[in-house]
Amino acid sequence: MTSPDDFQSPHPASLSLEKTIYTLEQMEQINVPQVALAGRSNVGKSSMLNCLANRKSLAKTSSVPGKTRSLNYYLVHPDHFYLVDLPGYGYAKRSKSERNAWGNLMRRFFTSNKSLAGLILILDSRLPPQLPDREMAAMALEQSLPLLPVLTKADKCTQREIAATKLAWTNLLGPESRPLLFSAKTRQGREMLWEQIRLLLSSSGTPMSEP
């Protein structure tokens, strides 16, 4: 679906939810190039997807954390690749067995996925690096997967807070990591994010399949 915004954008795109996967058994080898999105529950992942898609409720947003447990595959048109919405993590009320199941699913996703071009790690601009975020980053880097850190909810921060969070992540991930500032509310960083997503795909060597 297109919206008037798309016509002003150098990167018109529309997203549609194609597959929802809950278990290891359901996970299949999908030969379409993919970029994954991960973040702690409530960080603003669904809002980011909706902003990228110019839609209000393509991905369900919620003030109740820990709702989404599936991997949601959004097909991007006209490029023909998937944005894969990974289940949120770091939700305290989850049981140990649920956390283990999540860990297994993530490991499997990262280790046996040849079509994966990169990981967008969605982080809260207001917070210093949190342990589950660092673990998620480590999981991607172990697989030599390109990582794009995105600091979201930038509209809630002062420049000073943003600079501090940026510096903390750059110190952890290296000077090349260049965290991107984003806000689903003001749409700050949207164009740059599309650009970076396409850069991940074009530099990954993952063949783009014919639509």
Ligand X SMILES: Nc1nc2c(ncn2[C@@H]2O[C@H](COP(=O)(O)OP(=O)(O)O)[C@@H](O)[C@H]2O)c(=O)[nH]1
Binding footprint of ligand X on the chain (CB under 6 A): 39, 41-47, 61-63, 88, 152-153, 155-156, 183-185
Cβ-closest residue to ligand X?
Answer: 44
Q: What minimum distance in Å lies between the beta carbon of 3 and ligand X?
A: 19
Query: Which of Mg ion, ligand X, none sits in contact with 34, Cβ below 5 to 8 A by type?
Result: none
Site for Mg ion in 54-113 (CB under 5 A): 68
Using the rule CB under 5 A, is 206 a contact of Mg ion? no
59's tokens: 């991905």
- Residue 46 as a binder of Mg ion (CB under 5 A): the answer is yes
Residue 183 binding partner per list ligand X, Mg ion, none, with a CB distance cut-off of 5 to 8 Å that depends on partner kind: ligand X
**Residue 117 Cβ vs ligand X, minimum distance, rounded to whole Å:** 21
User: Least separation, in Å, of the C-beta of 62 and Mg ion?
Assistant: 6
C-alpha Rg value of the chain to the nearest Å: 16
Count Cβ atoms below 10 Å from residue 203 Cβ, excluding itself.
11
Contact 154, 181 (CB under 8 A): yes
Residue 87 Cβ vs Mg ion, minimum distance, rounded to whole Å: 9
What are the residues binding Mg ion (CB under 5 A)?
45-46, 68
